[in-house]
Amino acid sequence: MSIKEPKIIRNKQEMRNWSRSMRSQGKTIGFVPTMGYLHQGHLSLITESQKHTQLTVVSIYVNPGQFAVNEDLSTYPSDLLGDIEKLKSLPNGVDVVFNPQNLYHYGEFGVMRRNFKDEKIVSCLEGEVGFGHETWVRVENLEKGMCGMSRPVFFRGVASVVAKLFNIVEPDVAVFGKKDYQQWKIIQRMVRDLDFDVKVIGSELMRDEDGLAMSSRNVHLSPQQRKQALSISRSLFEAKSAAKKGETICSELRRSVIECIEFAGGKIDYVEIVDQESLEAVEEIKNGVVVCIAAWFGKVRLIDNMEIDAS
């Protein structure tokens, strides 16, 4: 089997020109936006994209717009060469890797701000004065709860950079993982509300053999923390099993999830049971809901979720 070398594009206009050239030839384009440090979960998104389109673009860009000033951008894991090798290992490869150096304007300084006290790179987009980036996309209701509570600029940054990427790549289809459930729903709503001509597909969450949801952040877990973190998926499967056996009161299911994670040593950020479409909290399972979790194990914040449909 021959290895397919992806075309590496770093310039926005070159990326746009490539897409328009392919579309003029009648080709359809699928798009998978990532922040790199790829794992099997990301690769499954690419495989899903290739079911729907003839060509596939993968972006690798760590988006500073979704990091608040107190969050350390420099610790986000990165391995571009390793990522490209993983993409080449796919049966059909990918056609383009879009790896821009920067998608924002930083005013007169032209660079991200450095925290000189501890030499960490932090996002300087929040509160920047002068001629820096100041145009943002907000999906106002869907972004309020869950991750939006503890990371108030996160979804503003996600929606804005995805809108920018859609304008640059101009795909027909974009695939997002359901692991980031709130993010997936926010992008769907943004596309609907702003009339982007892009079909947004949600791809099923991928788990390691031990049940832990695949995440680039898992690399930061110690062996002991990883064992403890298995309580997240265990609590979700137990909640789904309880619902199938007739437990429909969400407060009871939520309580059992919290107890399971805290008993294992995790610190809860949130556990919410919400409607799959509106993401509004519900008291009883009558239609489809999703149990969403964010929990800390040491300094690592993990998210996970599971859809539960009414019997």
Q: Which residues contact 259 (CB under 8 A, 6 or more apart)?
A: none
**Cα angle value 261/267/273 (rounded, 5°):** 60
CA atoms within 13 A on the CB side of 243: 28
And the tokens for 248?
């429909």
CA atoms of 11 and 15, how far apart (whole Å): 6
43 compared with 107, residue with greater pLDDT: 43
- Which residues does the annotation mark as catalytic? 42
**Cα angle value 138/203/309 (rounded, 5°):** 90
Q: What's the pLDDT score for residue 92?
A: 94
Domains 7-203 and 216-305 share a fold: no
- Report the predicted TM-score, pTM, of the whole model to 2 decimal places: 0.91
Q: What's the pLDDT score for residue 269?
A: 98
* pLDDT confidence tier of residue 152, bands split at 50, 70 and 90: confident
On whether the CB atoms of residues 79 and 37 are closer than 8 A, the answer is yes
Q: What's the pLDDT score for residue 107?
A: 63
Q: In this predicted model, what pLDDT tens digit does every residue of 6-49 receive, in sequence order?
A: 999 999 999 999 999 999 999 999 999 999 999 999 999 999 99
Q: How many CB atoms lie within 10 A of CB 311?
A: 9
* pLDDT confidence tier of residue 116, bands split at 50, 70 and 90: very low
- Least Cα distance to 251 among 229, 278, 275, 281 occurs for 281
Q: What's the pLDDT score for residue 153?
A: 85
The answer as to CATH 3.40.50.300 being correct for domain 216-305 is no
* Positive or negative: CA dihedral 74, 75, 81, 85: negative
CA atoms of 67 and 114, how far apart (whole Å): 13
Q: What's the pLDDT score for residue 113?
A: 52
Q: Which residues contact 73 (CB under 8 A, 6 or more apart)?
A: 62, 64, 67, 112, 120, 121, 122, 123
Q: What's the pLDDT score for residue 129?
A: 54
* pLDDT confidence tier of residue 121, bands split at 50, 70 and 90: very low
Q: What's the pLDDT score for residue 73?
A: 77
Residue 141 has pLDDT above 80, yes or no: yes
What is the domain partition of the chain in residue ranges? 7-203, 216-305
Q: What's the pLDDT score for residue 166?
A: 98
* pLDDT confidence tier of residue 199, bands split at 50, 70 and 90: very high
Q: What's the pLDDT score for residue 130?
A: 57
26: left (phi over 0), alpha (psi -120 to 50) or beta: left
CATH topology of domain 7-203: Rossmann fold (3.40.50)
And the tokens for 53?
């389109």
What value does the CA radius of gyration of the chain take, rounded to a whole number of Å? 20
Partner residues linked to 296 by β-bridges:
267, 301
And the tokens for 37?
């440090």
Q: In this predicted model, what pLDDT tens digit does every residue of 283-296 receive, in sequence order?
A: 999 889 999 999 99
